[in-house]
Structure 1
Amino acid sequence: MKKIAIIDGNSLINRAYYAMRNPMITRDGIFTQGIFGFLNMMDKIKRDYEPEYMAVAFDMKAPTFRHKEYDQYKAGRKKMPPELAMQIPLLKDILAAMNVKQLELEGFEADDIIGTIARKAEEDGLEPYIITGDKDELQLASDKTRVIITKKGVSEFEIYDRRAMIEKYGFTPQQFIDYKGLMGDQSDNIPGVPGVGDKTATKLILEFGSVENLLANTEDITPKGLKKKIEDNAQLAVMSKRLATINTNVPVGIDFDEFILGEPDYDALVAIYTKLEFNKFLKKLNIGREGGQSSGAVEGHTISVDTSSYERILVNSGEKMNDISLSGETIIKVFGDYNHLGTVAIEGVAMMNGGKYYYFDYPKLDDFVRWLADQDISMTGHGLKRDYFMLMCHDALSCEMSFATSFDTMIAQYVLDSGRSNYSLTAIANEYLHFTVKDETEFQEANGQMDMFDDNSQAYMDYGFDICTAVLNLVEVQQQRIKDEQLDDVFYSVELPLIEVMASMEYEGFKVDRGTLMDFGRELSQKIDEISARVFDMAGETFNLNSPFQLGDILFEKLGLPAGKKTKRGYSTSADILERIKDKHPIVPAVLEYRTLSKLKSTYIDGLIPLINENDGKVHAHFNQTVTTTGRISCTEPNLQNIPVRQEMGRQLRKAFIPDSDNCVLVGADYSQIELRVLAHMSGDEALIDAFNRGEDIHRATAANVLGVPESEITIEERSRAKAVNFGVIYGMSSFGLSSELNITRKDAEEYIDTYFRKHTAVKAFMDGQVESCREKGYVTTIMGRKRYIKEIKASGYMVRQVGERLAMNTPIQGSAADIIKIAMIKVYNAIKSGKLKSSLILQVHDELIINTYEDEREEIEKLLVENMESAYDMKVKLKADLNEGCNWYELK
């Protein structure tokens, strides 16, 4: 029997909207989580039930026959939020592009249309599946019709037919209407019989069968009080049943040939998915290319440049390599194992240049790298840092190869939209070109890792061609967008030249003294054991300190400490809960210290040791350009930026990070209060600018300005308050936040902030201006023109909107600081390279740069580092870099 899925459109999008904790908002401010969840649900229905027919029914705003009978029907129902209301027309556009039948009729609800379709489907020999979040439709269940109720948003389903209804409720689907007539429905404001709830309604239906039979036999109702309620409200019960009854004879035209699921309108779907930034669904359209031609699967979708005429040349093991000469812009993709722990094997290189495509299959690496260095080319690719790193690992640097970078489609997309989570070529090619390139991991799983004894070179050659083709076509589109959005400076002057710098830092690595690390690990283990013993002694028993459930019982049951709300999983023992009660009992700070040291050991001892390269004794961390929305660089495997330095034990860990050899030293420099200097520059606040340029203690100067007293009279406490406000202003700190940090009253905190802004009116005007500009444009910019789209700024929810406002204030400052440190990295790296120095830039952490420095180059490096950092960007405020050096990282501070 063929199946038809009948979907309650309003119910399902409503469920999907409220199921998502965080809003999904496009850069243009369109809320999309309801549509996204709805489409996921549709995919699940198609996958689980394989319907041949589908229809979606919607409510209309006009009153229905129920409103005309009872004017309080659905009265008091919460109004649909505008963020959800804006999604319904878009959902209808998507369904139209999918060629999914939509139905709505003035005077009737979606339930009535659904009931009518289900009845007619049964008559025509179809098997109906009704999908809804509304239990009213359970009355439509039958031996043929199944009602699927969504649970947990739209991720889980409960399915009912006639038998399942009787098993769950004890009565038939038809009697469900009588049940609702007696009990009423608060969500629809159907009154029912006052005082009759779920249990009583069920009991009466099981005893009398229907509302009509109940009213005809009221003398049999017990107890007397219930009998009186029923008799007094008989007409109310009849009306309520009538309101709850779904009309299955709606005058709506039904032609099941129009309900057949067929091919969608791909052009329309692509356009709307692109607008809504639904890369997941774009990928599912699977629009691709075979053999250099546009895919026949989706007619009309061709890529912008015809590459079918490209000559394809397979170069086996370096043969004919010396006969090939390249110049100009070249697209490159290096295939190999991006592994920082051992020898990086380059297994193949794909290159596209001048109308020809080359695939170098298992090149003789020494010859290949030397050949590549002789080519007069600039490189284009997707994620070039990975390609550069692998080439560097095969002595590309010793050939004095210059990685002239022309374009990187991954970095371009990051500059265009720093808020997205996926910068894969697969996602971006789908979005821009409507063209599918397999994910590299997915491709390798399907074809196996490259193996010189297993000839899969043709598959890799074809895959490399797909990659180069996608990159070639993306460049033209992205170049124009970057120009149109005035992002040329940040892309060409900052992000592109940074690629080689970051690849070099990964290649150079940071040497680790394994012995020091192991000793520190043993010291940590001893301290952890001592703290554990102390905790058990205070608790009066041993227990699993890593179990929140057992710890909660000890703290809140046995010791009786004030607790948060208890859930099914027990009491919460999260850090914020424990911080609030740490002065209530000495066991709490001990537990917090245990957690700190345990995390330090597991993350930076047990987790770091396996990441030390056996060949050179270094960790080669990954530096990422496309992770943070502010423009800051992030670091993983290991995350050297997150080594805790506020506690002494965390700082001690830095002793294990050492120079490359005995004739080297670590030289570092970090910017002094760069974000405050950026704030002074961008706001134009004369008091801040003057204080910085005269070299004053900025926090003492701020306190003196706010309090109106000489700097010499400022106390340590007053300076601390000014420091908290100076940094708090950058992050949009509220009076509540300041009062918590300084342990003062909220009134005092509010007064201090107000006074600060009265004295620093330019700062206040700048912050307010950023918020207003963001509301108008949807984004804020840094000094280099980097944009960050802040979707939350237009949210109707107060808390979400507040987050957006804080981001609008902070991002220009934090993002500008990120621009400056990146420019400094490029200048320092180029100065070292042009000077042909042996020393190398090995780490960037927040506002600090560290160079592994040879002793005979120390003076030159110290001068070079400070000069290039302080001249990175010309501001109204002088940039200041504080120089440090030492025999390990710990000594740099």
Structure 2
Amino acid sequence: MNKKLVLIDGNSVAYRAFFALPLLNNDKGVHTNAIYGFAMMLEKILNEEKPSHVLVAFDAGKTTFRHETFSEYKGGRQKTPPELSEQFPYIRELLKAYGISQYELENYEADDIIGTLSKQAEENGFEVRIVSGDKDLTQLASNHTTVLVTRKGVTDIEAYTPSHIQEKYGLTPEQIIDMKGLMGDASDNIPGVPGVGEKTAIKLLKQFETVEKLLQSIESVSGKKLQEKLETYKDQALMSKQLATIYRKAPVNINISEIDYTGPHPEKLISLFRELGFQSLLEKLDDRVEPEVKELATIDFKVVEEITEDMLQQDSALYVEIIEDDYQLAPILGIGLVNGSGNYYLPMDVVKSSSIFKSWLEDESMRISVYDAKRTIVSLQKLGFLVNSIDFDLLIASYLLNPSENIQDFSDVAKAHQYDEVLPDDVVYGKGAKRTPLSDEERAEHIVRKALAMFQLKEKLIDELKQNEQYELFTNLEMPLSRILGEMESMGVALDSNRLKEMGEEIKAQLNEIEQKIYQLAGEKFNINSPKQLGVILFEKLGLPVIKKTKTGYSTSADVLEKLQSKHEIVDQILTYRQLGKLQSTYIEGLLKVVNPETGKVHTRFNQALTQTGRLSSTDPNLQNIPIRLEEGRKIRQAFVPSVKDWVMFSADYSQIELRVLAHISGDERLIEAFQHNLDIHTKTAMDVFHVDKDAVTSNMRRQAKAVNFGIVYGISDYGLSQNLGITRKEAGEFIERYFKSYPQVKQYMDEIVQVAKQQGYVTTLLHRRRYIPEITSRNFNVRSFAERTAMNTPIQGSAADIIKKAMVDMAERLKEEKLQARLLLQVHDELIFEAPEDEIEILKEIVPDVMEHAIELKVPLKVDYAYGPTWYDAK
């Protein structure tokens, strides 16, 4: 058997992934960049190394035996950002799903566990691979142990063998410890000898071999100053070497035979990847997983040759089967119908030719249950059927009862409510390359089972909604909204493709111009998209201060460049170059790809049952993400135009809705007063926090106050705020503290809502939307902290979502009442976008703010700003 052990430095790889990748979130708001990076690293190592044994070692705590030698060991390290801390429990879950052992040992570091086990493994004839983001472990390299150090990101790896170390430093692996003893290590707060850097240390070790031999021969060292330093810091050098030495006899009580690797648990991985939103990793798993197929109870159903009146009862469940994501284009495969008279499968040729089925769908007195009303309305409308009879939506009801449920298809919803007589679509149809055609009988049975599940679950879910005080939210808000969203999707929004193409040409010209400016400022041509080449230009040729280094060289990430903007004009040019490049590829070219050739419009899909806060999102294309910071990004909205000649676009936007909701929910008198007197809330916050008069508030003070105002709503940490404002974490922490002193009832609300969440396990919005937060009682500090921030934020963000949804429903009614031609096209964050004839604009100027500002009555006024013009851009 091939005996190969892979040992992974868990903390180091997690840190490397967190700082290498941008902050990512899943749809539940959990930060995922470190987990994703860790998973990518595991995929690479497991596939390339094919180990027989694997273990991930973690640090057990802040204090180790090294602190007895030097109490300040690792003393300079900042507290772990909460955005990373909250990811460690998921990394541990990830390892369990991969079937990988994990271990930590009190009073020792992960390095010591790895050092001890690698020694044991070598003695037992194993090949060893050590994976870390830290070069300290390269001291363990030997003829049988290779240390793989992550460089850029986590999948670019440099392999350290004794020969590679010799080639790179001219040293042996054991001398890496001596090098650390001399030069020290700022990240671990190992002092070394002041003034001795890597070059000097290597030069000395090539001459004297070890720290001990060097210190016995100080008089042979060239340079009097260096001799004096070595004499002065003799003891410190020896102590530093001791601190840097990995202890290879740690009392590890796990045997190598216990950490054998037999492969991942695919079902666990699928569940975790789905929860975290790792779509690309999910797709890679498809080929590895053979799903278990449950034996289902038999059902009776009839394949209909003609639809008759007795089949079309008032209380019925109707399931429309479309298995493609884009139901606007995909065909309906068949329809299941279940009611008191029986179970029926309706083939599409029968459906299309039935006038009584058409009349039944249009009859508002019918009470039809469906799954995803919006999808049902849009797909049937393509066939010329107007659906007026839907009164229950299983998907929306289930979503309201528990928005954290991981829903991939119909069977997930059914299982969530203890109904397991429906197989997942992937099992029935197969997926991707494994998709196989079904017999008519098999497909018919699968579709009827879904309709039967809806028919049997309806009353149960309605009872639960009523118990939760959510039935009104369901019937008066979400159900009518699904119809409105369906109409918006079918309507689409017109796109001026020629204007988009012109913008693409303009951006290309700008990119060429900026490229030449960058070459001119750099004094040479180079690959601007290469971080390595760019790093050399900025930090070596132009001598800009180094902010952050990666294993491959200098970091040129956006946050680094933003800190260098005032140092050299080339930086601004590079940032603009990158932003324009993204606009060109993602938005200009991306939008042109999704224009429907028949309608000349984009028909985005609104996700009504996705986010845990109740916010709508949109896909194919995601119109909520069009960048507006850069003028060129805002200009993309010029391509969104009315679909009727001489009509105009009309946009209405809630002003600071989440802060107004915060004022209402917290009851903070200062916040309420500010909004009631129509004060600029960011200026007011700056006045309160900095204790200055209005005239003394600078633009920078207001900017900082604005960041805190919006950050508080999202439970921002000192780390998050420091990143936003480019200040230290200490300054950010003091700023947050001053904010809470200025607005004490906001702090009181934050504390109280956490207690409420702990007592009842969930928080609610103003309209009783719930979000369950079971992690709030976790014994793990990091998990609990994230849950507490979620509890603070959800009632605010969720209530804002409720308000704009209510405004959409009320607005649809008002447009009908006023008999206007104006149409609601889009909802983007807190903004509603309409198209309307020019002669209706005066009416819209009155009724749109009126409806939106009175959607819900708060202790503070809701404020709506509006604008209109020939394009969406002009209506901002």
> Shorter-chain-normalised TM-score: which range?
0.5 to 0.7
> Matched residues in 2 for 1:59 and 1:883: separation?
55
Kindly provide the amino acid, as one letter, of the partner of residue 334 in structure 2: V
Matches within 5 A, 1:147-162: 147-152=146-151, 155-159=155-159
Deviation at 1:328, TM superposition (A): 4.3
Match of 2:331 among 346, 364, 382: 346
Is 1:117 matched up with 2:107? Answer: no
Per-residue CA shift, 1:197-233, capped at 9, x if unaligned? 334334545xxxx999x79x98999669999989x98
Q: Are the aligned partners of 1:132 and 1:150 in contact in 2 as well (CA < 8 Å)? A: yes
Per-residue CA shift, 1:569-588, capped at 9, x if unaligned? 89899998599669x99x99
> Matched residues in 2 for 1:324 and 1:846: separation?
43
Structure 2 unmatched ranges of 5 or more: 725-734
Which residue does the alignment assign to 1:711? none
Kindly provide the amino acid, as one letter, of the partner of residue 151 in structure 1: T
Q: Are the aligned partners of 2:32 and 2:87 in contact in 1 as well (CA < 8 Å)? A: yes
Q: Secondary structure, in 3 states, of the residue corresponding to 2:321?
A: strand
Deviation at 1:114, TM superposition (A): 0.8
> Matched residues in 2 for 1:882 and 1:62: separation?
52
Q: Are the aligned partners of 2:10 and 2:57 in contact in 1 as well (CA < 8 Å)? A: no
Which residue does the alignment assign to 1:3? 3
Which residue does the alignment assign to 1:748? none
> Matched residues in 2 for 1:836 and 1:91: separation?
56
Which residue does the alignment assign to 1:48? 48
Kindly provide the amino acid, as one letter, of the partner of residue 331 in structure 2: I
Q: Are the aligned partners of 2:23 and 2:31 in contact in 1 as well (CA < 8 Å)? A: yes
Match of 2:353 among 352, 367, 387: 367
After superposition, the Cα gap between the structure-2 partners of 1:677 and 1:440, relative to the gap in structure 1 and judged at 3 Å, is farther
Per-residue CA shift, 1:396-426, capped at 9, x if unaligned? 22xx5333342316x85588557x9x86449
Is 1:499 matched up with 2:499? Answer: no
Deviation at 1:819, TM superposition (A): 1.8
Which residue does the alignment assign to 1:19? 17
> Matched residues in 2 for 1:495 and 1:50: separation?
50
Per-residue CA shift, 1:122-161, capped at 9, x if unaligned? 2xxxx34243537676676665x33443424754555566
Which residue does the alignment assign to 1:827? 810
Count of aligned residue pairs for this structure pair? 820
After superposition, the Cα gap between the structure-2 partners of 1:848 and 1:140, relative to the gap in structure 1 and judged at 3 Å, is closer
After superposition, the Cα gap between the structure-2 partners of 1:170 and 1:611, relative to the gap in structure 1 and judged at 3 Å, is closer
Match of 1:378 among 348, 368, 374: 368
- 133-142 or 187-196, which moves further after superposition? 187-196
Kindly provide the amino acid, as one letter, of the partner of residue 14 in structure 2: A
After superposition, the Cα gap between the structure-2 partners of 1:628 and 1:543, relative to the gap in structure 1 and judged at 3 Å, is farther
- 521-530 or 481-490, which moves further after superposition? 521-530
Deviation at 1:505, TM superposition (A): 0.5
> Matched residues in 2 for 1:61 and 1:724: separation?
38
> Matched residues in 1 for 2:644 and 2:871: separation?
11
Which residue does the alignment assign to 2:824? 841
> Matched residues in 1 for 2:681 and 2:98: separation?
64
State percent identity of aligned pairs. Answer: 29
Match of 1:401 among 388, 398, 412: 388
Deviation at 1:118, TM superposition (A): 1.2
Deviation at 1:884, TM superposition (A): 7.6
Deviation at 1:112, TM superposition (A): 6.0
Kindly provide the amino acid, as one letter, of the partner of residue 622 in structure 1: R
> Matched residues in 1 for 2:654 and 2:870: separation?
21
Which residue does the alignment assign to 2:731? none
Q: Are the aligned partners of 1:552 and 1:570 in contact in 2 as well (CA < 8 Å)? A: no
Which residue does the alignment assign to 1:768? 747
Which residue does the alignment assign to 2:377? 388
> Matched residues in 2 for 1:224 and 1:535: separation?
47
Q: Secondary structure, in 3 states, of the residue corresponding to 1:731?
A: helix
After superposition, the Cα gap between the structure-2 partners of 1:727 and 1:368, relative to the gap in structure 1 and judged at 3 Å, is farther
> Matched residues in 2 for 1:588 and 1:62: separation?
39
Q: Secondary structure, in 3 states, of the residue corresponding to 1:404?
A: strand
After superposition, the Cα gap between the structure-2 partners of 1:525 and 1:89, relative to the gap in structure 1 and judged at 3 Å, is closer
Deviation at 1:72, TM superposition (A): 1.3
Q: Are the aligned partners of 1:643 and 1:650 in contact in 2 as well (CA < 8 Å)? A: yes
Q: Secondary structure, in 3 states, of the residue corresponding to 2:124?
A: helix
> Matched residues in 2 for 1:611 and 1:773: separation?
47
Matches within 5 A, 1:157-168: 157-159=157-159
Structure 1 unmatched ranges of 5 or more: 294-306, 709-713, 742-751
Q: Secondary structure, in 3 states, of the residue corresponding to 1:408?
A: helix
> Matched residues in 2 for 1:701 and 1:178: separation?
56
> Matched residues in 2 for 1:116 and 1:335: separation?
57
Matches within 5 A, 1:50-449: 50-54=50-54, 72=69, 76-78=73-75, 109-111=112-114, 113-115=116-118, 117-119=120-122, 121-122=124-125, 127-133=126-132, 145-152=144-151, 155-159=155-159, 197-205=201-209, 244=245, 256=257, 258-261=258-261, 292-293=294-295, 307-311=296-300, 315=303, 319-322=305-308, 324-325=311-312, 328=315, 330=317, 332-335=319-322, 344-349=329-334, 351=336, 353=338, 362-363=348-349, 366-367=352-353, 371=357, 374=360, 376-381=366-371, 384-397=373-386, 400-408=387-395, 412-413=398-399, 416=402, 424-425=408-409, 437=424, 443=430, 445-447=432-434
Match of 2:678 among 695, 698, 701: 698
Kindly provide the amino acid, as one letter, of the partner of residue 15 in structure 1: V
Which residue does the alignment assign to 1:745? none
Kindly provide the amino acid, as one letter, of the partner of residue 346 in structure 1: P
Deviation at 1:346, TM superposition (A): 1.6
Per-residue CA shift, 1:713-759, capped at 9, x if unaligned? x999999999999977852699xx99xx9xxxxxxxxxx9999999x
Per-residue CA shift, 1:406-449, capped at 9, x if unaligned? 2316x85588557x9x864499679969999466999552256x
> Matched residues in 2 for 1:441 and 1:821: separation?
39
After superposition, the Cα gap between the structure-2 partners of 1:869 and 1:34, relative to the gap in structure 1 and judged at 3 Å, is closer
Deviation at 1:320, TM superposition (A): 4.6
Deviation at 1:824, TM superposition (A): 1.8
Per-residue CA shift, 1:702-722, capped at 9, x if unaligned? 9999999xxxxx999999999
Deviation at 1:504, TM superposition (A): 0.9
> Matched residues in 2 for 1:478 and 1:413: separation?
11
Which residue does the alignment assign to 1:744? none
How well do the aligned residues superpose, as a CA RMSD in angstroms?
7.6
Q: Are the aligned partners of 2:317 and 2:452 in contact in 1 as well (CA < 8 Å)? A: no
After superposition, the Cα gap between the structure-2 partners of 1:359 and 1:30, relative to the gap in structure 1 and judged at 3 Å, is same
Q: Secondary structure, in 3 states, of the residue corresponding to 1:129?
A: strand
> Matched residues in 2 for 1:719 and 1:219: separation?
61
Per-residue CA shift, 1:577-600, capped at 9, x if unaligned? 599669x99x99999999999998
> Matched residues in 1 for 2:590 and 2:680: separation?
42
> Matched residues in 1 for 2:504 and 2:251: separation?
77
Kindly provide the amino acid, as one letter, of the partner of residue 348 in structure 1: L
Which residue does the alignment assign to 2:729? none
TM-score (norm 1): 0.63
Deviation at 1:518, TM superposition (A): 7.7
After superposition, the Cα gap between the structure-2 partners of 1:504 and 1:199, relative to the gap in structure 1 and judged at 3 Å, is same
Q: Are the aligned partners of 1:870 and 1:880 in contact in 2 as well (CA < 8 Å)? A: yes
After superposition, the Cα gap between the structure-2 partners of 1:848 and 1:566, relative to the gap in structure 1 and judged at 3 Å, is closer
Which residue does the alignment assign to 2:728? none
Which residue does the alignment assign to 1:297? none
Q: Secondary structure, in 3 states, of the residue corresponding to 1:77?
A: coil
Per-residue CA shift, 1:166-199, capped at 9, x if unaligned? 76677777x6699689869868999999989334
> Matched residues in 2 for 1:245 and 1:650: separation?
52
Matches within 5 A, 1:480-519: 490=473, 493-511=476-494, 517=499
Which residue does the alignment assign to 2:732? none
Kindly provide the amino acid, as one letter, of the partner of residue 2 in structure 2: K
Deviation at 1:498, TM superposition (A): 1.9
Which residue does the alignment assign to 1:621? 604
